[in-house]
Amino acid sequence: MPLYKSINPKPNTTILVWKIKEELTVLEDIYLNENSLKRISGMKSESHKKGFLSVRHLLAELNYSDKDLFYTDDGKPHLKDGKRISITHSFNFAAIIISDQIVGIDIEKNRDKIIRISDKFIGNESDFLVAKNLVEQLTVIWGAKESLYKIHPDGGLLFKHHLPIEAFKLTDKKTKGWIKKDNFYEVFKIFFEQFEGFTLVYALN
């Protein structure tokens, strides 16, 4: 399996990134539970199938299998041993983060499209955006907010209003993000890095 990157940002927290190179038939050679078999049978996109299966191969790298993973009604993944997990994939990259603490992760391809939709998720962050490397900055912000969205237990979040991100420069490689909704107020450390035209972002409490 082409394990692209392994990151250990803090004790008992592991991130694995995988660059998807195999054919679908190769990826299919892994155990899937009944629910996963139903899910993948309903996927029309080969890219989505590859992302789904590559996550199961990443789990195997950490001695888990698909039988150790389950999803709650809100669509969030969980591990039966109680450890926290977050999952992401985009085009030919997939990643997971597993920790003893609350975590969220997102990977996105840097694309000009994000400029056109930025008004849907950019709030006060517009104050520190600059024209140079705008796509990369916006992708970090989107990834940070997506990571926080995956953490919040209740849903109903508006990216523009409930998930503010602290000012940063791309060279900082880190920032802070908040979940602010009703009586829920919590701050998280946000880390990010870029490789091969993609942005990886993860949130730690």
Q: What's the CATH code of the domain at 32? A: 3.90.470.20
* Predicted model pTM: 0.95
Q: Which residue is listed with tokens 């409930």?
A: 162
Same domain, 182 and 124: yes
Above 70 in pLDDT, residue 75? yes
Pair 89, 113 in one domain: no
- Which residues lie below 8 Å from residue 99, measured CB to CB, with a gap of 6+? 10, 12, 13, 14, 83, 84, 85, 204
Residue 20: pLDDT band by 50, 70, 90 thresholds?
Answer: very high
Q: Do both 176 and 117 map to the same domain?
A: yes
Q: Note the pLDDT tens digit of each residue in 148-204.
A: 999 987 778 899 999 999 999 999 999 999 999 888 899 999 999 999 999 999 999
Q: Distance between alpha carbon 103 and the CA centroid of its chain, in Å?
A: 9
Residue 166 burial by CB count (10 A; 0-12/13-18/19+): exposed, middle or buried?
middle
**Same domain, yes or no, for 136 and 81?**
no
pLDDT of residue 1: 53
Out of 100, 128, 156, pick the residue that ends a domain: 100
39 and 57 in a single domain? The answer is yes
